[in-house]
Structures are given as structure tokens and as C-alpha cells.
Amino acid sequence: MQTIFKTVVRLLVLTLLYIGGIRCSKTDQVEPVRLRLKQVDGVLADSPFRIHTIYTYDSLNRLSTIARADSSFTTISYSNPDKQYIFYVDYSSNDRTRGALTLIDPYKLDQNTIRGLQYYFGGKFNPEATTTSLYNGTGIALKTHFNDFIYSLDTSKHLIQYSSFIPPRHDIYSQSDYVYTKDNITLATNTYFVVYTNQVRSKNEISYVYDTNTNPLSGLFDLSIDPEFRFSQNNVIKKSQNNLISNYTYVYNQQGLPVKRTESRNGNTYVMNYTYEEY
């Protein structure tokens, strides 16, 4: 009888230890959390200005506004009445009646082409109006067409080419061709042409190496970010252009998203910090 009792006690203890272990292991696991990029702060190697950018989103998790360090402000409207364009409006830092409008024409040319038409404007802008409605108080359209750009995608929605005029000069246009390895751009060939002769004015190549962590800029509808960073799924750890090499190191949160990026180039370091919000 005592032997049976001891056996039962041992089994009970082992069972409790096992259950306790399961509970501990579940407690130690990171609960899945949906995060999106909220804020970016820091400095870039190619810019003298400090970065301080805040993003907000609409109820469908689409980028809605962008506020920048220079007090400029961007609004993105997806629901103009004719449903033809997405309105991407960059307002001036010191005058909310002036700025630049980009009409995004998603997949209108074909299923793999996104076109943008860009205008400078002055006067009152109504983002709920149709297509190119830019009016001052008297109803006169005040706009100047200054740039076009085209994103060309393959069937996997990888960016294979980006072309753009160089504002405000329309005698030159640029074309960037991209090579992918899996879901990351590993080579960008940038060519600058003279418009009327199609002669090559200059050309350069940039190569990229990536880690395996999620890139928070991937798919972000911020036109100020280079396409190479918005159309790659992972984070760049090395960028090479001629003899100029940048190495990037990251600090990640529990969800595998970077909270800090340090770029090292020519003995100098440039730090960017990323903040997220749950949704």
C-alpha cells in the first residue's frame, strides 16, 4: 500500500512539475504583436539635415500623413470621387497653401506599372475633388507640371525599373534598373540620359547585402525614401558604390524589427532610431 502511495505521489509531483514547466515556457514566449512604424529619428550620411519623421495611418492601415522635421507635412488621400488617382500632397513648411501634388495612378497603364504625375501648386487644394482640381479663392487652377515618374514591376511585384525626370530641369531624366536576390534588391544601375538625344550623361552601380530581419520601410508609401529601401523585405547591412562602402549594424526588438541602425562610412557613424506602435 505504501509503495502504491509513494508511486502516486511521485506521479503527482512529476505532473505538477510538467504543467508548471509548460506554464513557464508559455509565459517566457513573446506574444504576437502587430507593430507598424510610427517615428524615425536620426541623421543620414548623405544629408546635412536631421531626420524627425512621424507617420499616421487610416482605419485600413494605409499611410495617411507624414510630418517632418522641417515642419513640412504630407497627406495621402485614397478616396477622391472619380477613384482615378491617389492624391499625395506635400505642403510647404511655412505655407500650407503651397507645395507639391503627386497624382499616383496605380496600375492604370497595365497591371505592372505605377505612374506618378507631379505638380507644384499655390492656392487652395481640395483633396476630395476630382483629379487635377487645384484652385485658389477665385476658382483658377494654379499648378505647374514639373515631374513624372514610373515604377515598373514584374509579376512578383518586384521593382525592376524606376524612371523619373530630374526637377526642375526636363532636359535630363534618370532610369534605375534593379536586380533581385529573393525579395531584396542587390544591384541598382542608375543611368542619367539627355532627353532629346537619349545620350548617356552618367551612370553608376550600387550593390547591397542584407540580413534576414524584417525591413520596417518595406512597402511604406513615403516617396522621400529611395525605392531600393521601400521595395526590399530585409535590412541592408552593406552598401557599395565604387570605393565608397557603408556598413550597417542594427539593434532589434523582440519582434525582430530594428529599433536602432548605425551606419559606418569613412570613419564616421550615423544613427537612426525607429519607434513603433501597436495596431
Other beta carbons within 10 angstroms of residue 4's beta carbon come to 8
The pTM assigned to this predicted structure is 0.78
Q: 20 pLDDT band (50/70/90 cuts)?
A: very low
Other beta carbons within 10 angstroms of residue 133's beta carbon come to 16
> For 228-263, what is each residue's pLDDT tens digit?
899 999 999 999 999 899 999 999 999 999 999 999
* Per-residue pLDDT at 4 exceeds 90: no
Share of the chain above pLDDT 90, in %: 46
* Per-residue pLDDT at 122 exceeds 70: no
pLDDT of residue 252: 98
Q: 167 pLDDT band (50/70/90 cuts)?
A: low
Do 269 and 243 touch, CB atoms closer than 8 A?
Answer: no
Average pLDDT rounded to a whole number, residues 85-103? 79
* Per-residue pLDDT at 27 exceeds 60: no
pLDDT of residue 74: 92
Q: Mark 183-216 as b/e (b = at least 16 C-beta within 10 Å).
A: ebbbebebbbbeeeeeeeeeeeebebebbebbbb
Beta bridge pairs of residue 175 = 163, 191
State the SS3 of 157-190: CCEEEEEEEECCEEEEEEEEEEEEECCEEEEEEE
Share of the chain above pLDDT 70, in %: 74
Coil, strand or helix at 88? strand
* Per-residue pLDDT at 61 exceeds 60: yes
Average pLDDT rounded to a whole number, residues 88-116? 77
